[in-house]
Amino acid sequence: MARMENKIDKIVIACFKKDLFLLRPCVASIRFWYPEIEIFLLKDLIEGSFSLNEFVKNYGCKIFPTEMKTFGWPWSKLSVLLEEREDRYLFLDSDTVFLGPVLDMLQTFPEEFIVTGALIEDPYDPNFIFNYIDINKIGKVDKDYKFPGFGFNGGHIIMKSGIFKKADFTKIINFEPKITSMYPEIFKHGDQGCLNYIFNKAVQEKRITLRYVDFWIWPGLPISDKIDLKRIKNKDGYNYIMHWAGIKPVDFRNYIRYDILKFYNEIYYAKIPSGKLKKYIRYYKQLCIVQLKVFKYRMFKMNYAK
């Protein structure tokens, strides 16, 4: 059993207008395994205003309080990190689902920050350079940088608020007029490379404690084929989060392991008034959008992820 100071009882999910079809199975998957856990939705109005009332009324979600209203991919987690009050959260991107009671396992670790991604032996590995930090150029910012032996994905992080201040980020991140990386050629994928650098430096300076734990599955790897949906349905799941990072086919039905998304989507609508009707209306509306996009891409001879 986890000690009380290790307990993770708050989840924050970043979301924006165009990803509600992913947010629904995400929230449903959390409630499937943790019916009482506190869920906050962190709204990004970068694509326009949208309502989360359905999640609040039927799934007990709360809106994460933040003065900032627009962030852009994928900077919204800075609002959690820069909270003055000390608290412990699991931060998630909306294109994720729980495959089992993963928090039970994560709560056994005492570190303030727990990350997951890829264990990498060589800092010059193309995976590290492409997805996290370009080691060939890091000397421009920090000649004393020390490679930690891993790169972590920004879509699922156990994090503690109340530690970092804005000044900790301004060396490599602009906050005005909008949040951007000063060195996108060095720190890759928006905030991901930046946080890999900032967290690692904070560990070196003994300002935070951090642990790497393997708790995510990327659908693009063969291991995703081994996830048995029957086990999940029987509440005999896996201590992993599945994250469709970078896998976004135009046709939502072509998502790798769409069967898992579909399962949690069914659960979501089972708790919604007139859920069956809403599910079909939204399904066919989304299908129409897919067909229009495909028509546009073909007309203009554009490449797209099928």
Q: Per-domain residue ranges for the chain?
A: 4-217
Q: Which CATH architecture has domain 4-217?
A: Alpha-Beta Complex (3.90)
pTM of the model: 0.95
- Give the pLDDT confidence of 267-298 residue by residue, as tens digits: 999 999 999 999 999 999 999 999 999 888 88
pLDDT digits (tens, 9 = 90+) for 150-169: 999 999 999 999 999 999 99
Mean pLDDT within 125-137: 97
Q: What is the pLDDT of residues 79-106, one digit of tens each?
A: 999 999 999 999 999 999 999 999 999 9
- What pLDDT shows up at residue 1? 44
Query: Mind spelling out the 3-state secondary structure of the chain?
Result: CCCHHHCCCEEEEEEEHHHHHHHHHHHHHHHHHCCCCEEEEEEEHHHCCCCCHHHHHHHCCEECCCCCCCCCCCCCHHHHHCCCCCCEEEEEECCEEECCCHHHHHCCCCCCEEECEEECCCCCCHHHHHHCECCCCHHHCCCCCCCCCEEECCCEEEEECCCCCHHHCCCCEECCCCCEECCCCCECCCHHHHHHHHHHHHHHCCCCCEEECCCEECCCCHHHHHCCHHHHHCCCCCCCEEECCCCCCCCHHHCCCHHHHHHHHHHHHHCCCCHHHHHHHHHHHHHHHHHHHHHHHHHCCCCCCC
